[in-house]
């Protein structure tokens, strides 16, 4: 495969979309309608899930095994491939269990539900939770940067599309969370800016760090990022799916996202064939 050039445009686009998504709840009243955000988050999670399993994992596997030597230990190589995905998933799980988590989405799930939860009080400080979200945002950048360093332009675009679609609701959730946790609006803006910068910075860092290195390293980086995708895409929607009142709609939203990604992949494949 021929690697693409520096993904400067993608880095800029992720920055702009994250800033828009994160600043909207700070400067508007959109946060007062959480139902739309639930729907968008569910669809975006479905797209992210399908992207991980239909694009990032297969491409990472192909990179990792493309130059496979028949004398190599194939079992060990396959173990490394699975371990890379597991490592990404476990990193997010460990961060969550340590309180440095990604799941702040209960901020827009539970504010006005039937249980009277007007506000979610987190065990850890706002800074720690913002750091956790920013680490996930950096993993998004790793996925795009590693794809740009080792795969085709089409694959990079598909990975970036999934990240970008998911970035807006994730940033919006951060903005809602920060508005409830911070006393000063400027601090909320600072939270959003920190989160928004993590992905584009990591895109460029990972691209230049991985450009020209062994394809196996690039593949493992992509697979690690895929593990974080799998974690986030499920965690974003599980609270709603477990809720009897929202479960069916949440499941439908995820299925819509998966179907959209499948349609895009089929369209891209058809265009490529022609």
Task: Region of 2 please: left (phi>0), alpha (psi -120 to 50) or beta.
Answer: beta
- Crossing angle of the two packed helices 8-27 and 185-210, in degrees rounded to 10: 170
pLDDT at 35 over 90: no
At 99, is the secondary structure helix, strand, or coil? coil
Give the burial class of 29: count Cβ atoms within 10 A of its Cβ; 0-12 exposed, 13-18 middle, 19 or more buried.
exposed
What is the CB neighbour count within 10 angstroms for residue 234?
Answer: 15
By the 8 A CB rule, do 181 and 206 touch? no
Task: Kindly indicate the confidence band of residue 256, based on its pLDDT and cuts at 50, 70 and 90.
Answer: very high
Q: Give yes or no for a contact between 162 and 261, defined as CB atoms under 8 angstroms apart.
A: yes
- pLDDT above 70 (res 99): no
The residues near 3 (Cβ < 8 Å, ≥ 6 apart) are: 148, 149, 150, 151, 211
pLDDT digits (tens, 9 = 90+) for 158-177: 888 888 888 888 888 778 87
Distance CA 145, CA 218 (A): 9
Domain ranges of the chain: 8-273
Identify the three-state secondary structure at position 104: coil
Greater pLDDT, 5 or 79: 79
Q: At 191, is the pLDDT very low, low, confident or very high (cuts 50, 70, 90)? A: confident
Give me the percent of the chain exceeding a pLDDT of 90: 9
Six-digit token string for 20: 């828009």
Half-sphere exposure of 205 (CA within 13 A, CB side): 12
pLDDT in tens, 6-17: 788 889 999 998
């Amino acid at each position: 495969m021929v690697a693409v050039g520096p993904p400067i445009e993608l880095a800029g686009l992720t920055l702009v979309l994250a800033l828009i998504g994160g600043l909207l709840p700070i400067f508007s009243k959109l946060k007062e309608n959480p139902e739309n955000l639930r729907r968008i988050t569910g669809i975006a999670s479905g797209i992210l899930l399908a992207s991980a399993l239909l694009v990032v994992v297969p491409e990472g596997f192909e990179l990792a095994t493309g130059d496979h030597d028949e004398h190599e230990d194939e079992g060990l190589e396959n173990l490394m491939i699975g371990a890379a995905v597991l490592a990404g998933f476990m990193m997010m799980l460990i961060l969550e269990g340590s309180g440095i988590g990604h799941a702040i989405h209960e901020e827009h799930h539970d504010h006005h539900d039937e249980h009277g939860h007007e506000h979610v009080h987190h065990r850890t400080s706002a800074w720690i939770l913002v750091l956790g979200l920013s680490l996930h945002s950096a993993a998004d950048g790793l996925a795009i940067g590693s794809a740009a360093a080792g795969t085709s332009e089409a694959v990079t675009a598909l990975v970036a599309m999934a990240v970008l679609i998911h970035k807006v609701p994730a940033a919006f959730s951060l903005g809602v969370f920060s508005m409830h946790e911070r006393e000063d609006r400027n601090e909320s803006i600072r939270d959003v800016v920190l989160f928004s910068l993590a992905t584009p910075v990591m895109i460029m860092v990972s691209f230049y760090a991985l450009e020209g290195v062994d394809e196996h390293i690039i593949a493992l980086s992509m697979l690690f990022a895929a593990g974080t995708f799998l974690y986030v895409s499920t965690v974003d929607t599980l609270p709603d799916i477990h809720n009897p009142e929202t479960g069916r709609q949440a499941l439908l939203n995820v299925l819509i996202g998966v179907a959209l990604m499948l349609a895009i992949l089929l369209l891209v494949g058809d265009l490529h064939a022609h």
